[in-house]
Amino acid sequence: MKYSKIFRILVAAAIISWLALVIPTAPAAAVTYLSVSPTSGRAGDTVTVTLTGLSGTTAVLVFNDTNPKTVSITTSSYITSYTIPTSATPGGPDGTGNQIKVIDHAWWLSGAPGHIEAVTFTVITAEITIDLDEGPVGTEVEITGTDFDDGEDVTIDYDGTDITDDIVDGETSTDSNGDFTSTISIPESTTGSHTITITGATSAYTETATFTVESEASLSPTEGGAGTGVTVSGTGFKTSQSITITFDDEELDTTIETDTNGSFSGAFTVPTKAKGTYEVEIGDGTNSHSFDFDISANASLDLATGHIGTTLTISGNGFVASGTVTVKYGDTLIATTTAAVNGDFEVIFEVPASQSGDHTIIVSDSINIKQFTFTMESEAPPIPPPLLPEDGSKVEAEVYFDWKDVDDPSEVTYTFQIATAKAFTPPSIVLEEKGLTSSEYTITEEETLEPVGEDEPYYWRGKAIDGASNESEWTVPDSFHFGSQLVSPVSPVSPVSPTKKIEDWLLYTLIGVGAFLCGLLGFWIGRRTAYSSYY
């Protein structure tokens, strides 16, 4: 029992001695101390390390147990330098931070755990933040950068493309603290994640942020009738994909595709549907957007200008099913038709006689009304060239006038005048005929004019008037005359006054009575002479 106890004591002593040889201990006579200055900096910076109380030993400086530097300490307060690894990050390898440690050289070589002293070192690096990290193309994103080099230019890239010159607001260089703020507009790009990269020109610091592009689409207009053209566009869709458009769950025939940036634009025609609200869906198989489209009564006029007799067509849809559709030109009802069961209709009519200028055409049913403006042409017809009588000619009392026909899309009439003065002053006009449908006129017996000489002739002129009341200019007046002769009683527009007409009639009557009395007197004298001779 006694020997057994002695044996156990000897074994324990041997083990303790062996451990003392294997595991060295720090010098017990001195107090260790590690000082680092500064305790913060950037990766690659050099700091000053002061080691106190380790004179005569060899130690190893490490950064997070890597990048060892062996130093032989020769004084009680030993000063050396240490370079922060370029791979250093603010969070360290495990996210808990960074440490500079001093380790006994023997420990370091044996791989034994532990260290003599450790000091926390803060790694400073440039950082950027963005105020928004998702949204559609065109979203304005504010970028804030800190801890870059003072006064250095920065480059802003979006998926590797330099967009520095396209910033919406802010700066592209840092201030005296190495900070900056810039606002960018997200460029056209496909749906999903995209990288914003900021690079310092002198520091070469490169920081990134991720922005997620969301798809967006638009549709215009959002209401109209069947046949309405609708424009669609979108951004942030998949690249080079066919765009599908459905209207009320019916796929439309389109050939719209996205470009390499996921953007597209195109159009479709609203199909024939009854009046109401329908869903329009736009998608690429992954991204999809829906809109409401209101179909309302719609109508169109094929021509906005024309002349009397022009054929017009009004087409419409969305009107009351099987309802009566009326068309008015101004206040005049000119056509009616019945809409189909789907509200479609078409009516054809000719423009009625009306003045030149704008006229209102109204198409309506019991609920819907559409209005159009139709402009009646206002171009005057050509001047009708005069033919007979020629200027300065002598004519018979019943004069025949002739001029060339005028061609015009609408019906043409003529106005004809005769005057005693070339200026055609109102008092000088002795004859006026309006609404003549042919290009000629003959003076009637009732309109026979007073004979005039060549020195004081009559003048005649004419003009054309179309169905829209557009009037040509007057023709250049031509003169004519005829010699003295007995003429029939003149018309009320003759230059001879009523008193003059009565005097002429009495004169002719008295002459006739006188001639009769003279003949009767001669007959009586002759008989009396013959009777006296007989007896």
From first to last of the 535 residues of the chain, give the pLDDT tens digit. 444 555 455 544 544 443 444 444 444 444 557 999 999 988 899 999 999 988 889 999 999 999 999 999 999 999 999 999 988 988 888 888 899 999 999 888 888 777 889 999 999 889 999 999 999 999 999 999 999 999 999 999 999 999 999 999 999 999 999 999 999 999 999 999 999 999 999 988 899 999 999 999 999 999 887 778 899 999 999 999 999 999 999 999 999 999 999 999 999 998 877 778 999 999 999 999 999 999 888 889 998 888 888 899 999 888 888 889 999 999 999 999 999 887 889 999 998 888 878 899 999 988 888 999 998 877 788 889 998 998 989 888 778 999 998 887 778 899 999 999 999 999 999 999 998 989 899 888 777 788 888 888 999 999 998 877 788 889 999 999 886 443 333 343 344 334 344 444 455 566 666 666 766 666 656 655 554 544 4
What the chain holds in terms of domains, given with CATH numbers, is 26-123 (2.60.40.1930), 127-213 (2.60.40.10), 216-295 (2.60.40.10), 298-376 (2.60.40.10), 379-517 (2.60.40.10)
Q: Could you tell me which of 158, 135, 148, 60 has the C-alpha nearest to residue 100?
A: 60
169 φ, ψ (degrees, to nearest 5): -160, 160
* Residue position matching structure tokens 């940036």: 261
pLDDT value, residue 287: 96
Q: Rounded to two decimals, what is the model's pTM?
A: 0.53
Q: Could you tell me which of 361, 354, 350 has the C-alpha nearest to residue 377?
A: 354
pLDDT value, residue 523: 64
Question: Nearest 5 degrees, angle CA 525-CA 528-CA 533?
Answer: 125
Give me the residues paired with residue 400 across strands.
442
pLDDT value, residue 150: 93
- Secondary structure of the chain: what % helix, strand, coil (to 5)? 15, 45, 45
CA distances from 333 to 285, 319, 356, 364, 372 (A): 53, 19, 19, 11, 15
Q: Which amino acid is at 191?
A: T
CA 469 from centre of chain = 40
3-class state of residue 489 by DSSP? coil
> Within 13 Å and on the Cβ side, how many CA atoms surround 126?
27
- The Cβ of residue 471 has, within 10 Å, a number of other Cβ atoms equal to 12
pLDDT value, residue 478: 92
pLDDT value, residue 502: 42
pLDDT value, residue 527: 59
3-class state of residue 112 by DSSP? coil
Q: Could you tell me which of 88, 97, 90, 54 has the C-alpha nearest to residue 72?
A: 54
What DSSP assignment string belongs to 374-440? EEE--PPPPP--EEESPTTEE--SS-EEEE-----SS--EEEEEEESSTT--GGGEEEEEEEE-SSE
* Residue position matching structure tokens 């979108």: 234
CA distances from 442 to 73, 84, 101, 356, 446 (A): 142, 122, 132, 31, 11
pLDDT value, residue 347: 95
Give tens-digit pLDDT for 137-174. 999 999 999 999 999 999 999 999 999 999 999 999 99
What does the radius of gyration of the chain's CA atoms come to, in whole angstroms?
Answer: 57
Give tens-digit pLDDT for 371-427. 999 988 777 888 899 989 989 898 887 789 999 988 877 788 999 999 999 999 999
What DSSP assignment string belongs to 116-146? SEEEEEEEP--EEEES--EE-TT-EEEEEEE
CA distances from 289 to 203, 213, 235, 285 (A): 45, 15, 11, 11
Beta-sheet pairing, 77-83 with 305-306: unpaired
3-class state of residue 370 by DSSP? strand
